[in-house]
């Protein structure tokens, strides 16, 4: 009960911050990009807290539970993505817009911008929906049955939506700094405690080796029901994570919020360090949780999830879903000191709410600027723009809540969202700042190809009787979706007239 009380107090604190920050909102730019006034150290906190969502907390820890540190193949895609973005950070900040569709419109035209907006809304609302599910999982597990999963989802949704509606980016970025500190202390503290309780590194290695979890690709082959090899599956998670990160509208919006290009680049440098440390800690927590379950320090969460289930695909889903609860199980059953336990459960909600609010703000901003102001009311006043932005946050939050039941595990929802966005948006977005020959026709072809292949491979193609006989690379949608999207961008760009050189100047500005 005390854990539940701690979480509720923390959530009310977030709303109070939002109320306090309302006075900082003078216009729509304040709401969307915090007035472009953020120093590098604030940017580090908000970039870290935004990326480290329930995808890290649940699916990342679950992969660690099932695969050991080999589960980091998924996370490592983001590390490479951040490293590559570092080299074009100044160009992004100096471009000086508000949204990713702003980039698409300036580089590729209005149709490409509209397609980017539609794709972003679909992918990001999916991501918000599994943040709500993650919050519900935490509240259900730490409340000793007082709060059901469904009630926990509602509570998380209400607080995340309210918090974002109040003050937009100003409320988000400053509480993200607090959330970043909380998640760092909470996860590292819990890992140190559990590390000594289960017997140290030698015991972890012994148990992990006996279960095949202390090797380069762990048990990745078991993440699918067919005969696809572990390395192919692992890399199929690496690629969409990298593509999502490199095209992540949250990252671009925060870079646009920096006070200058130098601050933005410095923030990205420290961001990659923070992400590597925290995602490694979370993966190690997942593996340590497996060892703790083996030693009966915490319950066998996978066995409990599989009770009464017989079908192979259903057993796999139950295994994934059960293992995703490892960090809440550690908080509840591992005997953490009260202060550390409270810190860990607060960390879990900090991670979830930080990501939910950011992924709500992005599509609301896109729809306001790139649909409402462009096609509905171009002369809207600042007061009207703020009202529309807040209304859209509320509406999209409700839609995300209604989507919660569409995916049985957080990993499945994340994988789908990452592929839709990463293969549709990222190739053209990166090309805007790195390849002068990219054309609007190439970008549009790439968006259609990435989205079309992802949807077809996810919802239709696997039902074909001959699907399991295909080459393993064709059974994992990441490879055909990413490859065909990039090929469409390059091929169509090369056979269409090049863009005007004058229009490219703003995309290749490396000044500080």
Dump pLDDT digits (tens) for 389-406: 889 999 999 999 988 877
**In residues, how long is the chain?**
512
Backbone angles phi, psi at 2, to 5 degrees: -70, -35
| Tokens matching residue 138 | 């935490």
CB contact set of 305 (below 8 Å; sequence gap of 6+): 318, 319, 321, 322, 325
CB contact set of 102 (below 8 Å; sequence gap of 6+): 113, 369, 370
pLDDT exceeds 90 at position 191: yes
Q: What is the pLDDT of residue 82?
A: 93
The three-state (H, E, C) secondary structure of 400-438, written as one string? HHHHHHHCCCHHHHHHHHHHHHHHHCHHHHHHHHHCCCC
pLDDT exceeds 90 at position 509: no
Q: Quickly state the pLDDT bin for 240 (edges 50, 70, 90).
A: confident
Q: What is the pLDDT of residue 369?
A: 83
The closest alpha carbon to 43, from 248, 270, 244, belongs to: 270
pTM score, two decimals? 0.83
DSSP-derived 3-state class of residue 369: helix
Q: Are 329 and 300 in contact (CB under 8 A)?
A: no
The model's pLDDT over 248-289, given as tens digits with 9 standing for 90+, comes to: 888 888 888 787 888 889 999 999 999 999 999 999 999 999
How far apart (Å, rounded) are the C-alpha atoms in residues 125 and 129?
Answer: 6
Domain made up of 2-22+38-81+114-252+261-407: CATH architecture:
Up-down Bundle (1.20)
pLDDT exceeds 60 at position 31: no
Q: What is the pLDDT of residue 410?
A: 66
Q: Quickly state the pLDDT bin for 512 (edges 50, 70, 90).
A: low
| Tokens matching residue 399 | 């839609």
Q: What is the pLDDT of residue 239?
A: 87
Q: Quickly state the pLDDT bin for 233 (edges 50, 70, 90).
A: confident
Residue 41 CB: number of other CB atoms within 10 A? 12
Q: What is the pLDDT of residue 312?
A: 77
- The proportion of the chain whose per-residue pLDDT surpasses 90, expressed as a percent, equals 28
Q: Are 165 and 89 in contact (CB under 8 A)?
A: no
How far apart (Å, rounded) are the C-alpha atoms in residues 318 and 34?
Answer: 42
What is the average pLDDT across 231-241? 85
- Could you tell me the residue ranges of all domains in the chain? 2-22+38-81+114-252+261-407
The closest alpha carbon to 429, from 443, 409, 442, belongs to: 443
pLDDT exceeds 60 at position 204: yes
Q: What is the pLDDT of residue 415?
A: 74
Q: What is the pLDDT of residue 18?
A: 66
Q: Are 47 and 252 in contact (CB under 8 A)?
A: no
- The proportion of the chain whose per-residue pLDDT surpasses 70, expressed as a percent, equals 91
The model's pLDDT over 299-355, given as tens digits with 9 standing for 90+, comes to: 988 888 887 786 777 887 888 888 888 988 898 888 889 888 888 888 788 778 777
Q: Are 228 and 476 in contact (CB under 8 A)?
A: yes
Q: Are 440 and 104 in contact (CB under 8 A)?
A: no
| Tokens matching residue 248 | 């992540």
Worst-scoring range by mean pLDDT, 74-88, 226-240, 419-433? 226-240
Backbone angles phi, psi at 258, to 5 degrees: -65, 150
Q: Are 467 and 226 in contact (CB under 8 A)?
A: no
Q: Are 299 and 329 in contact (CB under 8 A)?
A: yes
Q: What is the pLDDT of residue 172?
A: 65
Q: What is the pLDDT of residue 222?
A: 74
Q: What is the pLDDT of residue 79?
A: 94
Residue 344 region by backbone torsions, left for phi larger than 0, else alpha for psi between -120 and 50, else beta: alpha
Chain-centre distance of CA 490, in angstroms?
28
Q: What is the pLDDT of residue 276?
A: 94
pLDDT exceeds 90 at position 45: no
pLDDT exceeds 70 at position 409: no
The model's pLDDT over 98-143, given as tens digits with 9 standing for 90+, comes to: 788 889 999 999 999 999 999 989 888 988 888 898 888 888 888 8
Q: Are 326 and 61 in contact (CB under 8 A)?
A: yes
Q: Quickly state the pLDDT bin for 495 (edges 50, 70, 90).
A: very high
Q: What is the pLDDT of residue 407?
A: 66
Q: What is the pLDDT of residue 169?
A: 57
258 strand-pairing partners:
38
pLDDT exceeds 90 at position 44: no
How far apart (Å, rounded) are the C-alpha atoms in residues 509 and 512?
Answer: 9
Q: What is the pLDDT of residue 167?
A: 58
DSSP 95: H
Q: What is the pLDDT of residue 197?
A: 94
Position with higher pLDDT, 446 vs 503: 446
Q: What is the pLDDT of residue 196?
A: 94
Q: What is the pLDDT of residue 174?
A: 67
Q: What is the pLDDT of residue 458?
A: 79
Q: What is the pLDDT of residue 441?
A: 96
Q: What is the pLDDT of residue 345?
A: 85
DSSP-derived 3-state class of residue 224: coil
196: exposed, middle or buried (C-beta count within 10 Å: 0-12, 13-18, 19+)? exposed
The closest alpha carbon to 62, from 380, 302, 244, 250, belongs to: 302
Q: Are 419 and 478 in contact (CB under 8 A)?
A: yes
Q: Are 297 and 333 in contact (CB under 8 A)?
A: yes
| Mean of the per-residue pLDDT values of the chain | 84
38 strand-pairing partners:
258
Q: Which of 55-69, 174-188, 345-359 has the highest mean pLDDT?
A: 55-69
């Amino acid at each position: 009960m005390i854990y539940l009380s701690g979480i509720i107090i923390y959530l009310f604190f977030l709303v109070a911050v939002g109320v306090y920050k309302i006075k900082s909102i003078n216009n729509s730019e304040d709401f969307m990009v915090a007035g472009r006034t953020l120093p590098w150290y604030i940017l580090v906190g908000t970039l870290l807290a935004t990326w480290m969502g329930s995808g890290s907390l649940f699916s990342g820890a679950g992969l660690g539970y099932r695969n050991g540190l080999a589960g980091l193949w998924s996370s490592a895609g983001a590390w490479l993505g951040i490293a590559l973005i570092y080299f074009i950070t100044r160009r992004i900040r100096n471009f000086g817009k508000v949204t990713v569709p702003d980039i698409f419109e300036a580089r590729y035209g209005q149709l490409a911008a509209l397609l980017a907006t539609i794709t972003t809304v679909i992918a990001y609302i999916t991501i918000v929906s599994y943040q709500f599910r993650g919050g519900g999982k935490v509240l259900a597990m730490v409340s000793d049955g007082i709060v059901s999963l469904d009630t926990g989802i509602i509570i998380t949704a209400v607080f995340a939506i309210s918090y974002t509606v109040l003050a937009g980016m100003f409320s988000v970025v400053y509480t993200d700094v607090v959330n970043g500190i909380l998640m760092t202390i909470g996860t590292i503290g819990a890992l140190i405690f559990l590390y000594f309780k289960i017997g140290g590194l030698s015991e972890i290695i012994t148990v992990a080796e006996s279960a095949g979890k202390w090797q380069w690709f762990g048990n990745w082959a078991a993440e699918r029901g067919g005969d696809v090899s572990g390395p192919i599956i692992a890399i199929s998670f690496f690629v969409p994570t990298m593509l999502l990160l490199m095209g992540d509208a949250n990252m671009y919006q925060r870079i646009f919020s920096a006070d200058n290009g130098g601050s933005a680049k410095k923030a990205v440098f420290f961001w990659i360090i923070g992400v590597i440390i925290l995602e490694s800690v979370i993966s190690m927590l997942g593996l340590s949780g497996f060892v703790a379950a083996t030693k009966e320090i915490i319950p066998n969460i996978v066995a409990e999830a599989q009770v009464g289930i017989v079908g192979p695909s259903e057993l796999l889903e139950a295994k994934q879903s059960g293992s995703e609860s490892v960090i809440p199980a550690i908080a509840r059953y591992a005997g953490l000191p009260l202060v550390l336990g409270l810190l860990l459960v607060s960390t879990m909600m900090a991670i979830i709410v930080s990501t939910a609010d950011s992924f709500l703000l992005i599509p609301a901003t896109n729809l306001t600027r790139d649909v409402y102001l462009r096609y509905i009311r171009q002369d809207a006043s600042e007061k009207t723009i703020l009202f529309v932005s807040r209304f859209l946050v509320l509406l999209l939050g409700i839609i995300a809540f209604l989507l919660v039941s569409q995916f049985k595990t957080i990993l499945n929802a994340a994988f789908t969202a990452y592929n839709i966005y990463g293969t549709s948006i990222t190739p053209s977005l990166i090309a805007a700042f790195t390849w002068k020959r990219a054309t609007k026709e190439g970008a549009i072809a790439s968006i259609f190809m990435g989205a079309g292949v992802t949807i077809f491979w996810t919802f239709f193609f696997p039902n074909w009787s001959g699907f399991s006989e295909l080459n393993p690379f064709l059974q994992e949608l990441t490879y055909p979706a990413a490859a065909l999207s990039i090929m469409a961008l390059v091929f169509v760009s090369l056979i269409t007239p090049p863009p005007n050189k004058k229009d490219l100047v703003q995309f290749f500005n490396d000044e500080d």
